[in-house]
Amino acid sequence: QADRAIMLSRDEITAQGKLAIDDSPDNLSHFTWDAFQRSIFAPDDYLRAIVDEYERSGIEGSFVPPRTVHQEDLGRLIEDWIEGEDRAPFAVFGGYGTGKSTFAQRLAAQLAEKSLRDPRARIPILVPLGELSEESRLEGLFGNLLTARYRVPGYHYEVFKRLNRAGRLVVICDGLDEMKHGMTPSVFQREVRRLFALQEDASRLILLGRRNALGSDQEFRAVIKGKSFGATGDEFDNPGQPNCIDVTIDKWNFSEAMVFIKGYLAFHGRRRGITDDKLAQRIKELTSPRFEELLERPVHAQMLCQIALVSTEPIGDIDEFGLYDRFITFLLERETEKMGRYAAFSVEARRKFNAAVSWWLLTKQSAIGTSIDNIPILICRSAVEGIAHDFDDEALRVELVAGCLVEKYNGHVYFGHRSIQEFLAAEHLFKTSYTTSGGSGAKGLLATVEFATPEVSKFLRHFFDKHPDGRKNALTICRLLSGFTGDMPLAIGPLAEAHRACGEGFRGSPWLYYAQIRGTDPDWSLAGFEHIIRDLGNRSTPREVWLLAAQAAATSEHTHARRNQIVANVLQVSDLAEYVQRAQSDPSRVDVVSADDHVTYCLVAAITMTDQTFQTERVQFDWNAFREAAYQLLGYGLVWEQRPSQFNLVPQQLYSLLGWSTGELDRVRPFFNSPAIVQALRPRAVAVERKRPFRDKSPEVNAGKPTLRLPGGVKG
């Protein structure tokens, strides 16, 4: 009397058993356990869509299997991992344009084809992490992907999780760096932990992204390797987080680039009806040694091929910046010429719109995509300002989006190439002199640049160097910043590039001086850091510059490699010896170190412990305390924390750096082996009057007005 009966078996039943079921009433059906799980989820239409998207992309005809930096076949590594016993997540890193997303798309398509042939095979779920910042929960991200976009009829998040635990899925999360954009390190680590919650039992989780999403080695080890750090920097395993397998994709060699170019031009050229003779001519041109360096990245090779397919003239010499500039122009010209486009909206107007949308997406932390309706109408109006048209606001948005360099589906738009978005975002910043997001003046400028990625800063460098208005725009930006007296964010790469383009004219301003170590050029930033170290040891350095240099040193990525050198440059033996003598005569005195002696004040504030365990003198130095003391005396500056903040040092290491004599060593020795002396010298919070802010001597600079310093220890 049952309405329906389902018989489950671990394996397939015999032919006789199948006949018996076929002869039974219609309300009896049989499934193997694997097939039953699959029937609930019903992924076949989704899998066919994944395969179809891949086939239409034309990737297969020119695909070059990526290698890791250890020269391993990435595809084979992941295939073995999926079939093996190691359940740790697999993290794939690579620079921009190295083929991470292409590899993810191909892997998903291959797994989809296998799953369509064999119901027991794992089902691939390709997840664009750039959309995670728009969702407050993983449920929302997967729900949007598998119901709104692909309409998997049996999707339910709890079913999804149980299939994942049972080993029926491979979850491929592409765009780790896009997910991080706009997040603080702590928020980013929290979001990654949410992703790692998908790694359960027999599941398989793959993460792909740019390595620079994890700014420091410590953040990399915390997020990817599952490490935690104690107060003194000691590293230990975090039991709540997995230790990922991690690999890095290597750049192409020239022979690999040649394979791609020949395959791409052959596949797409024939689809365009280009003759074999013309294709052979183009292949010969693109395989010239002059393009060898440019072709290290797959995205550059693809752009170069696409330009070659539509251009009738020789491509000639072209660098990375010129490649992006020309490619974007080509795409916009093609969009403008399409039937139905409003002819009065020129390439220049559409390019202005694309650039503004690219930057707006970065500021909205949505990385690469958004709903069409969310694009601000002010961006649309600004792009066509001065051009006559009869569109209302809604129609104007639709028209401009139709000619935008984005891909569209179900009312959603996104940039298929992240690097193109970053180039356009840099163009927008350059042409607006960074004054687009946060209001006017230096504060608005700082509120703007914090959203820029390292690649945006790199493209800005080329704009400053190559554009006729490069130095003029850089001077405008530096004028705004030079008189600023407030707190500085960490991400100031665009400011560093503007400062570099100004040349020598602004080196005296404390903020521009600090920007010198935040550039995208490692050699330049290292040289700036060495300059800071020298200024910390120079008694003639202006007080305000010294205090900003102290904060910069305490938070620099170079700090830990040169920490003893920094401390040695801060130590002034004559001043310290005098304070030690006074503390020995009367240890009960309060505020032995005066706030006016800013050098010793910052030094003593950073000493948190002395120790003579096993007869070895050691002191514990705290970078955050060092930075905070400089912040307290200045009243503004660099406000983020350095982790780990503390380290132990042996005074003998400093003595060798300073070249102190035995007599000098004896004069300050009590500071290193007497906790009572250190405590007596400990600075107290004091109220100080802020001096007039630093004024650059350059006539080009319009310095800001003086402001009152806040009481010691109080942030404003």
Secondary structure of 294-309 in HEC code, one letter for each residue = HHHCHHHHHHHHHHHH
Q: At what angle do helices 543-555 and 598-606 cross, to 10 degrees?
A: 20
The sign of the dihedral angle between the CA atoms of 469, 474, 480, 483 is: negative
**Whole-number Å distance between alpha carbons of 108 and 556:** 40
Strand ranges of the sheet holding 412-414, from the earlier edge strand across to the other edge: 369-371, 412-414, 407-409
246 falls in which pLDDT band (50, 70, 90)?
A: very high
- 514-573 pLDDT, tens digit per residue, is 776 666 666 667 777 887 888 888 878 888 888 888 888 887 777 777 777 788 788 777
Q: Give how far Cα 521 sits from Cα of 327, 458, 525, Å.
A: 25, 9, 6
Residue 163: both structure tokens together: 């299939």
C-alpha to C-alpha distance for 570 and 136, rounded to whole angstroms:
46
Q: Which residues is 93 bridged to in the sheet?
A: 209, 248
Report the chain's C-alpha Rg in angstroms: 31
CB 305 within 8 A of CB 326: no
Mean pLDDT (the chain, rounded)? 79
Mean pLDDT of the region 186-194? 80
Distances (CA, A) of 235 to 498, 548, 619, 643: 38, 30, 20, 12
Give the per-residue pLDDT at 704: 36
Q: Do 126 and 105 touch, CB atoms closer than 8 A?
A: yes
pLDDT at 271: 80
Tell me, rounded to whole angstroms, the distance of Cα 108 from its chain centroid: 24
The per-residue pLDDT for 591 is 55
The two structure tokens encoding residue 458: 């790199």
> Residue 639 corresponds to which tokens in the numbers above?
């406000």
Q: What is the pLDDT of residues 651-700, one digit of tens each?
A: 666 667 667 777 777 777 777 777 777 777 776 655 444 444 434 343 33
Determine the average pLDDT of the residues in 480-505: 75
CB half-sphere exposure, 166, CA atoms < 13 A:
16
Separation CA 578–CA 582 (nearest Å)? 6
Q: For the segment 206-238, what is each residue's pLDDT rounded down to a tens digit? A: 999 888 777 677 788 888 898 887 766 678 888
Give the pLDDT mean for 162-176. Answer: 90
d(CA 126, CA 161): 15
Specify the pLDDT at position 133. 53
Q: How confident is residue 78, by pLDDT bands cut at 50, 70 and 90?
A: very high
Q: What is the pLDDT of residue 414?
A: 63
Question: Is the pLDDT at 447 greater than 90, yes or no?
Answer: no
Percent pLDDT > 70 in the chain is 82
Phi-psi region of 506 (alpha: psi -120 to 50; beta: other; left: phi over 0): alpha
* pLDDT value, residue 297: 83
Peptide bond into 644 cis (omega under 30): yes
Q: Is the pLDDT of residue 161 over 80?
A: yes
If one counts every other C-beta atom within 10 angstroms of the C-beta of residue 282, the result is: 22
3-class SS of residue 529: helix
pLDDT, tens digit, 9 for 90 and up, residues 618-630: 667 888 888 888 8
Question: What phi-psi label fits residue 635: left (phi over 0), alpha (psi between -120 and 50 degrees) or beta?
Answer: left
- State both tokens at 243: 């230790």
Question: Is the pTM above the cut of 0.75?
Answer: no
The tokens for 317 are: 């010499």
Helix pair angle (454-466, 493-502), 10° resolution = 20
pLDDT of residue 575: 78
- Of the candidates 402, 660, 457, 162, the residue with the CA atom closest to the CA atom of residue 391: 402
Residue 251, pLDDT > 80, answer yes
Interatomic CA distance for residues 482 and 700, integer angstroms: 10
- The DSSP annotation for 692-703 comes to PPP--S-TT--P
d(CA 71, CA 459) in angstroms, rounded, equals 30
Higher pLDDT, residue 705 or 126: 126
pLDDT of residue 706: 32
Q: C-alpha angle 261/265/266, rounded to 5°? A: 115
Query: Based on the number of CB atoms within 10 Å of its own CB, is 285 exposed (0-12), middle (13-18) or buried (19 or more)?
Result: middle
In angstroms, the CA 294 to CA 298 distance is: 9
